[in-house]
Amino acid sequence: MPVLEFTSENLPTSEEFRRMLSLNDATYDPLEELLRLERDLAKLEQTHGLSSAEFYTQYQAGKFGDDREFICWAGRYTLYLRLKAKISKSLERIMTAETVLF
């Protein structure tokens, strides 16, 4: 999902904010988001020489501490897993519906 960033100098009005959210909702592509997350995770994996799954297991066990980079990595991995599951469920529904129709 596109990132909206604001500072005290560029805060939108409530109407502008609603319009921005609406536009983002209309242009959101879950597959593009999944690919973006995969690219982000691949960079972190290459930097640290560890798969995201391995990292997350160790992170959950408290082996990585509270460094901002590791918190963000864990968050991205969680988002990746959730989005991947949602897309898979959607595809299963489509495949089931097509099987019923044919």
* C-alpha to C-alpha distance for 88 and 92, rounded to whole angstroms: 6
Whether the per-residue pLDDT at 101 is higher than 80: the answer is no
Q: Is the pLDDT of residue 24 over 80?
A: no
Answer whether residue 100 shows pLDDT above 80.
no
Longest Cα–Cα distance in the chain: 57
Q: Cite the DSSP H helix spans in the chain.
A: 14-27, 30-48, 52-60, 68-101
Task: Choose between 22 and 36: higher pLDDT.
Answer: 36
Dump pLDDT digits (tens) for 42-77.
999 999 999 999 999 999 999 998 999 999 999 999
pLDDT of 23 > 90? The answer is no
